[in-house]
Structure 1
Amino acid sequence: MTSTVLLAAAGPSPLWYATRAGGTVALLLLTATVLLGIVAGGRYAPKRIARFEIGALHRNLSLLALAFLLLHIVTAIADSYVHFGWIDAVVPFASSYRTLWVGLGALAFDLLLAVLLTSAVRLRIGQRRWKAVHWLAYASWPLALFHAAGTGTDTRLSLQLGLYAVCLLAVVGAVWWRLYRAGPGHRAARWWGAVAAAAVPAVLTVFLATGPLQPGWSHRALAPATSTVSTSTVSTSTGLISRELG
Protein backbone atom coordinates (compact mmCIF):
# COMPACT_ATOMS: atom_id res chain seq x y z
CA MET A 1 0.00 0.00 0.00
CA THR A 2 2.82 2.38 0.89
CA SER A 3 4.52 1.87 -2.47
CA THR A 4 1.24 2.53 -4.27
CA VAL A 5 0.71 5.80 -2.41
CA LEU A 6 4.29 6.87 -3.14
CA LEU A 7 3.76 6.04 -6.83
CA ALA A 8 0.59 8.12 -6.90
CA ALA A 9 2.35 11.03 -5.23
CA ALA A 10 5.26 10.89 -7.66
CA GLY A 11 3.22 12.61 -10.34
CA PRO A 12 3.10 11.98 -14.08
CA SER A 13 5.98 10.08 -15.65
CA PRO A 14 7.72 10.98 -18.92
CA LEU A 15 5.68 8.22 -20.56
CA TRP A 16 2.49 10.02 -19.53
CA TYR A 17 3.68 13.21 -21.19
CA ALA A 18 4.70 11.24 -24.30
CA THR A 19 1.25 9.64 -24.42
CA ARG A 20 -0.52 12.98 -24.24
CA ALA A 21 1.84 14.60 -26.78
CA GLY A 22 1.58 11.67 -29.18
CA GLY A 23 -2.21 11.70 -28.99
CA THR A 24 -2.43 15.44 -29.56
CA VAL A 25 -0.09 15.39 -32.55
CA ALA A 26 -1.95 12.37 -33.98
CA LEU A 27 -5.25 14.27 -33.70
CA LEU A 28 -3.76 17.31 -35.46
CA LEU A 29 -2.34 15.16 -38.27
CA LEU A 30 -5.60 13.24 -38.61
CA THR A 31 -7.43 16.57 -38.84
CA ALA A 32 -5.06 17.72 -41.58
CA THR A 33 -5.57 14.42 -43.42
CA VAL A 34 -9.36 14.65 -43.25
CA LEU A 35 -9.27 18.32 -44.14
CA LEU A 36 -7.18 17.66 -47.25
CA GLY A 37 -9.42 14.76 -48.25
CA ILE A 38 -12.55 16.91 -48.00
CA VAL A 39 -11.16 19.95 -49.79
CA ALA A 40 -9.38 18.10 -52.60
CA GLY A 41 -12.05 15.45 -53.12
CA GLY A 42 -14.84 15.43 -55.63
CA ARG A 43 -14.58 17.44 -58.83
CA TYR A 44 -12.44 20.20 -57.40
CA ALA A 45 -9.06 20.45 -59.12
CA PRO A 46 -6.52 23.02 -57.85
CA LYS A 47 -4.65 24.90 -60.54
CA ARG A 48 -1.19 25.18 -59.00
CA ILE A 49 -0.88 21.70 -57.50
CA ALA A 50 -1.24 18.46 -59.41
CA ARG A 51 -3.67 15.85 -58.13
CA PHE A 52 -0.94 13.26 -57.67
CA GLU A 53 0.91 15.70 -55.39
CA ILE A 54 -2.22 16.17 -53.27
CA GLY A 55 -2.68 12.40 -53.17
CA ALA A 56 0.90 11.89 -52.04
CA LEU A 57 0.58 14.55 -49.33
CA HIS A 58 -2.71 13.03 -48.17
CA ARG A 59 -1.15 9.57 -47.97
CA ASN A 60 1.98 10.77 -46.16
CA LEU A 61 -0.06 12.73 -43.61
CA SER A 62 -2.21 9.70 -42.87
CA LEU A 63 0.86 7.49 -42.37
CA LEU A 64 2.41 10.10 -40.11
CA ALA A 65 -0.82 10.28 -38.12
CA LEU A 66 -0.74 6.51 -37.67
CA ALA A 67 2.90 6.69 -36.54
CA PHE A 68 2.07 9.17 -33.79
CA LEU A 69 -1.03 7.18 -32.91
CA LEU A 70 1.17 4.11 -32.39
CA LEU A 71 3.45 6.24 -30.20
CA HIS A 72 0.38 7.28 -28.23
CA ILE A 73 -0.65 3.65 -27.73
CA VAL A 74 2.80 2.19 -27.03
CA THR A 75 3.63 4.79 -24.37
CA ALA A 76 0.21 4.30 -22.76
CA ILE A 77 0.89 0.56 -22.56
CA ALA A 78 4.42 1.07 -21.25
CA ASP A 79 3.24 3.46 -18.52
CA SER A 80 2.45 1.21 -15.56
CA TYR A 81 0.32 3.87 -13.88
CA VAL A 82 -2.78 2.47 -15.57
CA HIS A 83 -3.30 -1.15 -16.61
CA PHE A 84 -3.69 -0.88 -20.37
CA GLY A 85 -2.78 -3.43 -23.05
CA TRP A 86 -2.98 -4.05 -26.77
CA ILE A 87 -6.36 -5.73 -26.40
CA ASP A 88 -7.71 -2.51 -24.91
CA ALA A 89 -6.25 -0.51 -27.81
CA VAL A 90 -7.73 -2.74 -30.51
CA VAL A 91 -10.97 -4.12 -29.05
CA PRO A 92 -13.48 -1.30 -28.46
CA PHE A 93 -14.79 -0.91 -24.90
CA ALA A 94 -12.61 -3.72 -23.53
CA SER A 95 -10.59 -1.42 -21.26
CA SER A 96 -11.42 -1.27 -17.58
CA TYR A 97 -10.06 2.28 -17.49
CA ARG A 98 -12.41 4.97 -18.88
CA THR A 99 -14.21 2.26 -20.83
CA LEU A 100 -16.36 4.49 -23.04
CA TRP A 101 -13.74 7.08 -23.93
CA VAL A 102 -10.90 4.62 -24.48
CA GLY A 103 -13.36 2.55 -26.52
CA LEU A 104 -13.96 5.47 -28.86
CA GLY A 105 -10.23 5.75 -29.39
CA ALA A 106 -10.02 2.02 -30.13
CA LEU A 107 -12.80 2.38 -32.70
CA ALA A 108 -10.96 5.24 -34.39
CA PHE A 109 -7.74 3.18 -34.43
CA ASP A 110 -9.56 0.18 -35.96
CA LEU A 111 -11.10 2.33 -38.69
CA LEU A 112 -7.70 3.76 -39.62
CA LEU A 113 -6.19 0.26 -39.65
CA ALA A 114 -8.98 -0.87 -41.97
CA VAL A 115 -8.13 1.95 -44.37
CA LEU A 116 -4.42 1.11 -44.20
CA LEU A 117 -4.91 -2.63 -44.80
CA THR A 118 -7.38 -2.19 -47.67
CA SER A 119 -5.05 0.35 -49.29
CA ALA A 120 -2.34 -2.32 -49.31
CA VAL A 121 -4.62 -4.68 -51.30
CA ARG A 122 -6.40 -1.99 -53.27
CA LEU A 123 -5.86 -3.63 -56.66
CA ARG A 124 -7.28 -6.92 -55.42
CA ILE A 125 -10.46 -5.66 -53.77
CA GLY A 126 -11.28 -3.09 -56.44
CA GLN A 127 -11.71 0.66 -56.46
CA ARG A 128 -15.33 0.69 -55.27
CA ARG A 129 -14.73 -1.47 -52.18
CA TRP A 130 -11.56 0.38 -51.32
CA LYS A 131 -13.32 3.72 -51.60
CA ALA A 132 -16.17 2.52 -49.38
CA VAL A 133 -13.71 1.52 -46.66
CA HIS A 134 -11.70 4.70 -47.21
CA TRP A 135 -14.71 6.77 -46.23
CA LEU A 136 -14.43 5.20 -42.77
CA ALA A 137 -11.44 7.45 -42.15
CA TYR A 138 -13.83 10.37 -41.92
CA ALA A 139 -15.77 8.58 -39.17
CA SER A 140 -12.55 8.05 -37.22
CA TRP A 141 -12.04 11.81 -36.85
CA PRO A 142 -15.06 12.66 -34.61
CA LEU A 143 -14.41 9.46 -32.64
CA ALA A 144 -10.82 10.57 -32.04
CA LEU A 145 -11.96 14.05 -31.08
CA PHE A 146 -14.44 12.81 -28.47
CA HIS A 147 -11.89 10.27 -27.24
CA ALA A 148 -9.37 13.07 -26.68
CA ALA A 149 -11.90 15.32 -24.96
CA GLY A 150 -13.29 12.58 -22.73
CA THR A 151 -10.05 10.82 -21.85
CA GLY A 152 -7.55 13.64 -21.91
CA THR A 153 -6.56 14.79 -18.46
CA ASP A 154 -5.58 18.18 -19.85
CA THR A 155 -8.88 18.90 -21.62
CA ARG A 156 -9.59 21.79 -19.25
CA LEU A 157 -6.41 23.60 -20.29
CA SER A 158 -6.99 26.63 -22.53
CA LEU A 159 -4.33 25.52 -25.02
CA GLN A 160 -5.90 22.07 -25.41
CA LEU A 161 -9.38 23.53 -25.82
CA GLY A 162 -7.97 25.90 -28.42
CA LEU A 163 -6.50 22.97 -30.37
CA TYR A 164 -9.84 21.16 -30.29
CA ALA A 165 -11.57 24.32 -31.50
CA VAL A 166 -9.12 24.76 -34.38
CA CYS A 167 -9.56 21.13 -35.47
CA LEU A 168 -13.33 21.40 -35.26
CA LEU A 169 -13.63 24.70 -37.10
CA ALA A 170 -11.24 23.58 -39.84
CA VAL A 171 -13.10 20.35 -40.62
CA VAL A 172 -16.59 21.85 -40.32
CA GLY A 173 -15.53 24.78 -42.51
CA ALA A 174 -14.14 22.38 -45.11
CA VAL A 175 -17.38 20.37 -45.14
CA TRP A 176 -19.48 23.50 -45.67
CA TRP A 177 -17.10 24.68 -48.41
CA ARG A 178 -17.37 21.28 -50.12
CA LEU A 179 -21.16 21.37 -49.90
CA TYR A 180 -21.16 24.88 -51.31
CA ARG A 181 -19.08 23.87 -54.33
CA ALA A 182 -20.95 20.62 -54.93
CA GLY A 183 -22.99 20.48 -58.08
CA PRO A 184 -26.64 19.50 -58.34
CA GLY A 185 -27.73 16.07 -57.32
CA HIS A 186 -26.88 13.79 -54.38
CA ARG A 187 -29.33 15.72 -52.22
CA ALA A 188 -29.48 13.02 -49.56
CA ALA A 189 -25.69 12.94 -49.18
CA ARG A 190 -25.50 16.72 -49.07
CA TRP A 191 -28.27 16.90 -46.49
CA TRP A 192 -26.59 14.36 -44.21
CA GLY A 193 -23.28 16.15 -44.63
CA ALA A 194 -24.87 19.43 -43.56
CA VAL A 195 -26.53 17.79 -40.55
CA ALA A 196 -23.26 16.17 -39.46
CA ALA A 197 -21.34 19.43 -39.90
CA ALA A 198 -23.82 21.19 -37.62
CA ALA A 199 -24.30 18.35 -35.13
CA VAL A 200 -20.68 17.55 -34.24
CA PRO A 201 -19.74 21.01 -32.86
CA ALA A 202 -23.10 21.30 -31.06
CA VAL A 203 -22.77 17.91 -29.39
CA LEU A 204 -19.11 18.48 -28.51
CA THR A 205 -19.87 21.88 -26.98
CA VAL A 206 -22.66 20.46 -24.82
CA PHE A 207 -20.48 17.51 -23.84
CA LEU A 208 -17.55 19.70 -22.80
CA ALA A 209 -19.80 22.06 -20.84
CA THR A 210 -21.54 19.26 -18.93
CA GLY A 211 -18.62 16.84 -18.69
CA PRO A 212 -14.85 17.46 -18.86
CA LEU A 213 -15.11 21.15 -17.92
CA GLN A 214 -17.09 20.36 -14.77
CA PRO A 215 -15.41 19.53 -11.44
CA GLY A 216 -15.15 15.83 -10.68
CA TRP A 217 -15.03 14.68 -14.30
CA SER A 218 -11.92 12.58 -13.71
CA HIS A 219 -13.85 10.54 -11.16
CA ARG A 220 -17.07 10.27 -13.18
CA ALA A 221 -15.26 9.25 -16.37
CA LEU A 222 -13.68 6.24 -14.69
CA ALA A 223 -15.34 2.87 -15.14
CA PRO A 224 -17.77 1.93 -12.32
CA ALA A 225 -16.05 0.22 -9.44
CA THR A 226 -16.94 -3.32 -8.40
CA SER A 227 -18.76 -4.04 -5.18
CA THR A 228 -15.64 -5.32 -3.48
CA VAL A 229 -12.69 -2.97 -3.59
CA SER A 230 -9.42 -3.52 -1.81
CA THR A 231 -7.57 -0.80 0.07
CA SER A 232 -4.74 -0.79 -2.46
CA THR A 233 -7.20 -0.37 -5.34
CA VAL A 234 -8.79 2.61 -3.60
CA SER A 235 -5.36 4.14 -3.03
CA THR A 236 -4.45 3.68 -6.69
CA SER A 237 -7.73 5.21 -7.89
CA THR A 238 -7.29 8.16 -5.55
CA GLY A 239 -3.79 8.70 -6.88
CA LEU A 240 -5.09 8.60 -10.45
CA ILE A 241 -7.75 11.19 -9.76
CA SER A 242 -5.35 13.45 -7.91
CA ARG A 243 -2.82 13.19 -10.69
CA GLU A 244 -5.40 13.91 -13.39
CA LEU A 245 -6.89 16.89 -11.58
CA GLY A 246 -3.40 18.25 -11.12
Structure 2
Amino acid sequence: MATLLAQFSAHFPVWNTIRAGGLTSYLLMFVSVAAGISHSFSFFKPKRKKQFLLVHQSSGWFGLLFGMIHGLVLSFDQSIHFPLSDILIPFTSDYKPISTGLGTISLYILFVLIITSDFIKQLGRKTWKAIHFLAFPGYLLALYHGITSGTDTQQPLILGMYSITGCIVLILLFLRIQHQSAPKNPKKAQEN
Protein backbone atom coordinates (compact mmCIF):
# COMPACT_ATOMS: atom_id res chain seq x y z
CA MET A 1 0.00 0.00 0.00
CA ALA A 2 2.84 2.42 0.86
CA THR A 3 4.42 1.82 -2.56
CA LEU A 4 1.13 2.57 -4.28
CA LEU A 5 0.77 5.80 -2.29
CA ALA A 6 4.34 6.83 -3.14
CA GLN A 7 3.71 6.20 -6.87
CA PHE A 8 0.44 8.12 -6.69
CA SER A 9 2.15 11.05 -4.93
CA ALA A 10 4.96 11.14 -7.51
CA HIS A 11 2.55 11.49 -10.45
CA PHE A 12 -0.16 13.58 -8.85
CA PRO A 13 0.43 16.98 -7.27
CA VAL A 14 -0.90 15.96 -3.86
CA TRP A 15 0.27 19.01 -1.95
CA ASN A 16 -1.21 21.37 -4.55
CA THR A 17 -4.50 19.46 -4.43
CA ILE A 18 -4.58 19.73 -0.64
CA ARG A 19 -3.94 23.48 -0.77
CA ALA A 20 -6.36 24.10 -3.63
CA GLY A 21 -9.07 22.03 -1.94
CA GLY A 22 -8.67 23.91 1.34
CA LEU A 23 -8.63 27.38 -0.22
CA THR A 24 -11.58 26.54 -2.49
CA SER A 25 -13.56 25.13 0.42
CA TYR A 26 -12.87 28.24 2.49
CA LEU A 27 -13.88 30.60 -0.33
CA LEU A 28 -17.08 28.63 -0.95
CA MET A 29 -17.88 28.77 2.78
CA PHE A 30 -17.34 32.52 2.64
CA VAL A 31 -19.67 32.85 -0.36
CA SER A 32 -22.28 30.67 1.35
CA VAL A 33 -22.18 32.70 4.58
CA ALA A 34 -22.21 36.05 2.75
CA ALA A 35 -25.10 34.97 0.50
CA GLY A 36 -27.00 33.53 3.49
CA ILE A 37 -26.72 36.78 5.42
CA SER A 38 -27.63 38.81 2.32
CA HIS A 39 -30.66 36.58 1.71
CA SER A 40 -32.02 37.55 5.12
CA PHE A 41 -32.22 41.29 4.33
CA SER A 42 -35.86 42.24 3.77
CA PHE A 43 -35.05 45.19 1.49
CA PHE A 44 -34.07 42.84 -1.35
CA LYS A 45 -36.78 41.95 -3.84
CA PRO A 46 -38.00 38.32 -3.89
CA LYS A 47 -36.17 37.55 -7.14
CA ARG A 48 -32.83 38.75 -5.68
CA LYS A 49 -33.47 36.87 -2.43
CA LYS A 50 -34.10 33.71 -4.44
CA GLN A 51 -30.76 34.19 -6.21
CA PHE A 52 -28.98 34.67 -2.89
CA LEU A 53 -30.59 31.50 -1.56
CA LEU A 54 -29.48 29.48 -4.59
CA VAL A 55 -25.90 30.76 -4.25
CA HIS A 56 -26.00 30.13 -0.49
CA GLN A 57 -27.14 26.52 -0.86
CA SER A 58 -24.97 25.52 -3.82
CA SER A 59 -21.79 27.11 -2.47
CA GLY A 60 -22.41 25.36 0.86
CA TRP A 61 -22.65 21.96 -0.83
CA PHE A 62 -19.57 22.57 -2.97
CA GLY A 63 -17.71 23.96 0.05
CA LEU A 64 -18.39 20.70 1.87
CA LEU A 65 -17.22 18.68 -1.13
CA PHE A 66 -13.95 20.60 -1.46
CA GLY A 67 -13.44 20.45 2.32
CA MET A 68 -13.76 16.67 2.18
CA ILE A 69 -11.28 16.55 -0.71
CA HIS A 70 -8.90 18.77 1.28
CA GLY A 71 -9.05 16.47 4.29
CA LEU A 72 -9.02 13.12 2.54
CA VAL A 73 -6.17 13.92 0.15
CA LEU A 74 -4.03 14.69 3.22
CA SER A 75 -3.88 10.93 3.81
CA PHE A 76 -1.94 10.62 0.51
CA ASP A 77 0.67 13.21 1.43
CA GLN A 78 4.07 11.68 2.08
CA SER A 79 5.75 14.80 3.55
CA ILE A 80 3.41 15.14 6.55
CA HIS A 81 2.01 11.87 7.85
CA PHE A 82 -1.77 12.23 8.29
CA PRO A 83 -3.51 8.94 8.99
CA LEU A 84 -7.24 9.03 8.32
CA SER A 85 -7.93 8.92 12.08
CA ASP A 86 -5.99 12.18 12.55
CA ILE A 87 -8.11 13.78 9.84
CA LEU A 88 -11.46 12.55 11.13
CA ILE A 89 -10.90 12.87 14.89
CA PRO A 90 -10.26 16.48 15.97
CA PHE A 91 -7.09 17.35 17.94
CA THR A 92 -5.34 13.99 17.38
CA SER A 93 -2.89 15.14 14.71
CA ASP A 94 0.78 15.65 15.49
CA TYR A 95 0.81 18.60 13.07
CA LYS A 96 -0.74 21.70 14.68
CA PRO A 97 -3.38 19.71 16.59
CA ILE A 98 -5.50 22.71 17.66
CA SER A 99 -5.65 24.30 14.22
CA THR A 100 -6.23 21.04 12.33
CA GLY A 101 -8.81 19.95 14.91
CA LEU A 102 -10.72 23.21 14.50
CA GLY A 103 -10.64 22.72 10.72
CA THR A 104 -12.19 19.27 11.17
CA ILE A 105 -14.88 20.68 13.48
CA SER A 106 -15.61 23.41 10.93
CA LEU A 107 -16.18 20.76 8.26
CA TYR A 108 -18.46 18.80 10.61
CA ILE A 109 -20.46 21.96 11.33
CA LEU A 110 -20.88 22.54 7.59
CA PHE A 111 -22.05 18.94 7.20
CA VAL A 112 -24.62 19.37 10.01
CA LEU A 113 -25.89 22.62 8.48
CA ILE A 114 -26.41 21.06 5.08
CA ILE A 115 -28.07 17.90 6.41
CA THR A 116 -30.41 19.77 8.76
CA SER A 117 -31.38 22.16 5.96
CA ASP A 118 -32.82 19.16 4.12
CA PHE A 119 -35.03 18.46 7.15
CA ILE A 120 -36.43 21.93 7.96
CA LYS A 121 -40.03 20.68 8.00
CA GLN A 122 -39.26 17.78 10.32
CA LEU A 123 -37.11 19.86 12.70
CA GLY A 124 -39.31 22.93 12.69
CA ARG A 125 -38.13 26.35 11.59
CA LYS A 126 -37.19 27.51 15.10
CA THR A 127 -34.94 24.50 15.79
CA TRP A 128 -33.45 24.65 12.29
CA LYS A 129 -32.69 28.37 12.70
CA ALA A 130 -30.97 27.76 16.05
CA ILE A 131 -28.80 25.06 14.44
CA HIS A 132 -28.15 27.26 11.43
CA PHE A 133 -26.54 29.93 13.61
CA LEU A 134 -23.62 27.49 13.85
CA ALA A 135 -22.65 28.82 10.40
CA PHE A 136 -20.88 31.79 12.03
CA PRO A 137 -18.65 29.84 14.43
CA GLY A 138 -18.10 27.26 11.68
CA TYR A 139 -16.93 29.96 9.30
CA LEU A 140 -14.68 31.52 11.96
CA LEU A 141 -13.13 28.12 12.71
CA ALA A 142 -12.41 27.65 9.00
CA LEU A 143 -10.86 31.12 8.84
CA TYR A 144 -8.69 30.40 11.89
CA HIS A 145 -7.70 27.00 10.47
CA GLY A 146 -6.69 28.51 7.15
CA ILE A 147 -4.67 31.33 8.70
CA THR A 148 -2.87 29.22 11.30
CA SER A 149 -2.23 25.97 9.47
CA GLY A 150 -2.23 27.05 5.83
CA THR A 151 1.24 27.02 4.29
CA ASP A 152 0.27 29.86 1.94
CA THR A 153 -0.74 32.34 4.66
CA GLN A 154 2.63 34.09 4.48
CA GLN A 155 1.85 35.13 0.90
CA PRO A 156 0.33 38.64 0.83
CA LEU A 157 -2.38 37.62 -1.66
CA ILE A 158 -3.63 34.78 0.56
CA LEU A 159 -3.40 36.80 3.77
CA GLY A 160 -5.23 39.63 2.01
CA MET A 161 -7.94 37.20 0.87
CA TYR A 162 -8.44 35.98 4.46
CA SER A 163 -8.50 39.57 5.76
CA ILE A 164 -10.96 40.86 3.16
CA THR A 165 -13.36 37.92 3.38
CA GLY A 166 -13.29 37.96 7.19
CA CYS A 167 -14.03 41.70 7.24
CA ILE A 168 -16.87 41.30 4.73
CA VAL A 169 -18.53 38.65 6.89
CA LEU A 170 -18.15 40.82 10.01
CA ILE A 171 -19.64 43.85 8.21
CA LEU A 172 -22.54 41.80 6.83
CA LEU A 173 -23.17 40.32 10.27
CA PHE A 174 -23.14 43.80 11.84
CA LEU A 175 -25.56 45.07 9.17
CA ARG A 176 -27.78 42.02 9.72
CA ILE A 177 -27.93 42.66 13.45
CA GLN A 178 -28.70 46.35 12.81
CA HIS A 179 -31.36 45.43 10.25
CA GLN A 180 -32.96 42.88 12.56
CA SER A 181 -33.15 45.32 15.47
CA ALA A 182 -34.62 48.12 13.33
CA PRO A 183 -38.39 48.66 13.61
CA LYS A 184 -40.33 46.65 11.02
CA ASN A 185 -42.70 49.47 10.17
CA PRO A 186 -40.99 52.90 10.31
CA LYS A 187 -44.34 54.78 10.26
CA LYS A 188 -45.56 53.00 13.41
CA ALA A 189 -42.24 53.67 15.12
CA GLN A 190 -42.57 57.39 14.40
CA GLU A 191 -46.14 57.46 15.79
CA ASN A 192 -45.00 56.00 19.14
Common topology (TM > 0.5): yes
Alpha-carbon contact 1:104-1:143 (below 8 Å) kept: yes
1:102 to 96, 100, 103: 100
Query: 2:112 corresponds to which letter in structure 1?
Result: A
Q: Distance in 1 between matches of 2:115 and 2:180?
A: 30
Query: Which runs of structure 2 are paired with 1:89-238 in the superposition (5 Å)?
Result: 89-184=87-182
Residue 69 (structure 2) aligns with: 71
The count of residues paired between Structure 1 and Structure 2 equals 174
Q: Calculate the TM-score normalised by the size of structure 1.
A: 0.64
The Cα RMSD (Å) is 2.2
Q: Distance in 2 between matches of 1:90 and 1:133?
A: 22
Give 1:164 shift: 0.8
Q: Sequence identity, in percent?
A: 29
Q: Distance in 2 between matches of 1:164 and 1:52?
A: 27
Query: Using CA pairs below 8 Å that are at least 6 residues apart, which structure has the higher relative contact order?
Result: 1
Please list every run of at least 4 consecutive aligned residues from structure 1 whose deviation after the TM superposition is greater than 6 angstroms.
Answer: none
Decide whether aligned partners of structure 1 residues 39 and 54 sit closer, same or farther in structure 2, where only a CA change above 3 A counts.
Answer: closer
Give 1:27 shift: 0.9
Q: Distance in 2 between matches of 1:66 and 1:180?
A: 30
Query: 1:173 corresponds to which letter in structure 2?
Result: I
Partner secondary structure for residue 37 of structure 2? helix
Decide whether aligned partners of structure 1 residues 126 and 181 sit closer, same or farther in structure 2, where only a CA change above 3 A counts.
Answer: closer
Q: Residue deviations 1:147-206, cap 9 Å, x none?
A: 111111121111111111121121112122223323348xxxxxxxxxxxxxxxxxxxxx
Give 1:116 shift: 2.1
Alpha-carbon contact 1:91-1:103 (below 8 Å) kept: yes
List gaps (5 residues or longer) in structure 2: 1-5, 7-11, 184-192
Give 1:101 shift: 0.8
